[in-house]
Amino acid sequence: MATLTTILESMGKQAAATPEALDFAQVAGQYRPQIFRFLLSSLRDPDAAETLTQDCLLKAHRNWSSFRGESNVLTWLLRIAINLQKDEWRSRRLQFWKTTSRNSVDADDVSGWLASDESSPEQQVVARDQVRLVWLAVKGLSERQRTVFMLRHVEEMELQEIAVAMNLSEGTVKAHLSRAMLRVRAELGGKR
């Protein structure tokens, strides 16, 4: 896993020494975990998420001087990440030999996400199964619905922030989120 320092060094030592690069280094260090978490939850592939996080930060660094401040920095960075994510999904569709197992979430891996120290083994199994079913339902959403769902429920972004990040109207975001929620609920209702 490359660090921000490694990324800046790859851009050249002169770039890392400028005040602009140091300012960007602070921003990237602050928001990198959120970008990675979003990409990981969307792609279900830690290696791809790490690669796209680095690509996102590299692209942002190259365009840092042109950031106009019309949105907050996280929204701008997430817009870059969303575009990279879309490119990745298009690439995956073209490569039919990749299996879905690469993108799936293992129920044992998810158990670490649950606060389960106080729950019984039975409750842990039920919770793992519910999480698995939710991710399975989310995987079946359209690309745009999945992105809106992830930004709202994983990143806990406000609808207006999602609209800015995805370059959509707030009404369109609401519609996609509503459809996503209906589909996930329908999937969960049919599998209980």
The label of the residue with tokens 């745009």 reads: 144
pTM above the 0.75 mark? no
Does residue 73 lie within any of the structural domains?
yes
CB-based burial of residue 165 (10 Å sphere; 0-12 exposed, 13-18 middle, 19+ buried)? buried
Does residue 22 lie within any of the structural domains?
yes
Domain CATH for 8: 1.10.1740.10
Structural domain that includes position 15 = 1-100
Angle, vertex CA 103, rays to CA 7 and CA 8, nearest 5 = 5
The first and second tokens of residue 115, run together, are: 């606060």
Cα–Cα dist 158/188, whole Å = 25
Low-confidence ranges of the chain (pLDDT < 50): 1, 8, 11-17, 96-104, 116, 192
Does residue 2 lie within any of the structural domains?
yes
Residue 45's nearest CA partner among 118, 95, 114 is 95
Domains: count for the chain: 1
Does residue 83 lie within any of the structural domains?
yes
Does residue 157 lie within any of the structural domains?
no
Does residue 76 lie within any of the structural domains?
yes
The first and second tokens of residue 20, run together, are: 């602009």
